[in-house]
Structure 1
Amino acid sequence: MSDKLRKFFSEGTTDEITKKLLGKLLVYNSPQGLMSGYITEAEAYLGAKDSAAHAYQGKRTPSNEALYGYPGTVYIYSIHSRLCLDIATQAKDTPEGILIRGIEPYQGIKWMERNRSKHGYNLTNGPGKLMQALGIEDKKMNLLEFGETDLDIKLDDGKIPEKIESSGRIGVSDRGKWTEKPYRFYVAGNPYVSKMAKRDMNLETYGWK
């Protein structure tokens, strides 16, 4: 991984990093071809103190070991038979992370549509949907680092959100007060955000400056 990426994923609090991640270009050099999308939605998880996090109370198992890796480590996990993509943040052995929840497709859209048998905003407006669209069906890249595998994040090839909104986490069972803490961040008005109501969509700018 480049020093630039490690620095990006370790400077500031995890919620601050999550907001900075919105608009950055997620790239996957897949066996099918190059696919990419601008990150529209992401959730911060604050490790041992966060009752909604996989590393709550310092839990450390083979399945969540990636969270304890260097900042920018790929953490792929399954929930409800769907894979999700997470990124480790902060220093090594500080198990905080960011779940990528949505992307606005940019490159390889035809492959994404073929993988999902869908098109339109429903293509990648959710964590399981975007992984299926990218054709990632296993955990081979788990524990590796962005930029050193087929997954990368281009920090200089992004868009700037006009406005960032926040809410409680989505799809997290009741884990106490942390479930509702506003650590889900998204680009206001972007249609590639999960559960974005049609009336709130900005179909002119998609919420970018």
Structure 2
Amino acid sequence: MINESANIGMPQPKEFYQVPTLDLARALLGCILVKETPEGIASGYIVETEAYIGPGDKAAHSFGNRRTKRTEVMFGEAGLIYTYVMHTHTLVNVVSAEKEKPEAILIRAVEPCHGIPLMQERRGTLDLRKLTSGPGKLTKALGISMADYGHSFTEPPLWITKGKKPEKIVSGPRIGIHNSGEARDYPWRFWVPDNPFVSR
């Protein structure tokens, strides 16, 4: 059950996700990413996203229509949760596009909203700017794990709800994809300018 006392909104409907991937990557900015665990609810305003449009995107896990145990969920319907581990960090993505068209959006950074003390405990720091200013930081702070893989963002325990629409959105090349040919220059990273929680 959603803890209404935490003043958290209801999940965005499936229709919210049924738009082109680049449009969804922008629309996610300002929405609230929420995770409910036995320890409590933690959430944050999404301030940075990256779109991956496989199978023609050399930076995407699904490039070349690559279908593996890890990427299988990307071939599902829009709004599903794609988590994976990179190094020691879990990263969280929103599956986008229609079925059998493997595209996804990485949530790179959020601005802490609810459950800040819980996030500070999980991250081992009181510095708000260090809590969620990166894709691995935010999953640890919110309690997102590989157990969320394949579930839907349209229902608890991990969901996205309406927040505050940013006044301005900027875009630029994605981060950390140097060995992806021309794809490294695609301006498919979107963020809220001047927000201190953007990863870079």
TM-score (norm 2): 0.91
List gaps (5 residues or longer) in structure 1: 196-209
What residue number does 1:182 align with? 187
SS of match in other structure, 1:177: helix
Offset at residue 149 of structure 1 (A): 3.7
Q: Which stretch shows the higher mean deviation, 39-48 or 117-126?
A: 117-126
Distance 1:58 1:160 in 2: 34
Alpha-carbon distance change, 3 to 79 in structure 1, aligned in 2, over 3 angstroms: closer
Q: CA deviation at 1:75?
A: 0.3
Give yes or no for the alignment of 1:166 onto 2:171: yes
1:60 to partner: Cα distance: 0.4
SS of residue in 1 equivalent to 2:61: coil
| Equivalent position of 2:34 in the other structure | 27
SS at match of 2:181: coil
Looking at both structures, which has the greater relative contact order when contacts are Cα pairs under 8 Å and sequence separation is at least 6? Answer: 2
Match of 1:127 in 2: 135
Return the alpha-carbon distance in structure 2 between the equivalents of residues 16 and 82 of structure 1. Answer: 27
Check 1:3–1:70 CA distance in 2 against 1; reply closer, same or farther (3 A cut). Answer: farther
1:6–1:70 contact (8 Å) kept in structure 2? no
Shift of 1:163: 1.2
Q: 2: CA distance between counterparts of 1:139 and 1:4?
A: 22
Shift of 1:135: 2.4
| Residue in 1 that maps onto 2:6 | none
Q: TM-score, normalised by structure 1?
A: 0.87
Identity of aligned residues (%): 41
Most deviating of 146-155 and 52-61: 146-155
Give distance in 1, aligned partners of 2:151 and 2:83.
10
- Report 1:44-193 matches (<5 A): 44-118=51-125, 119-136=127-144, 138-155=145-162, 158-193=163-198
Q: In the aligned structure 2, how far is the partner of 1:31 from the partner of 1:23?
A: 26
1:15 aligns with 2:15: no
* Structure 2 equivalent of residue 206 of structure 1: none
Give the length in aligned residue pairs. Answer: 190
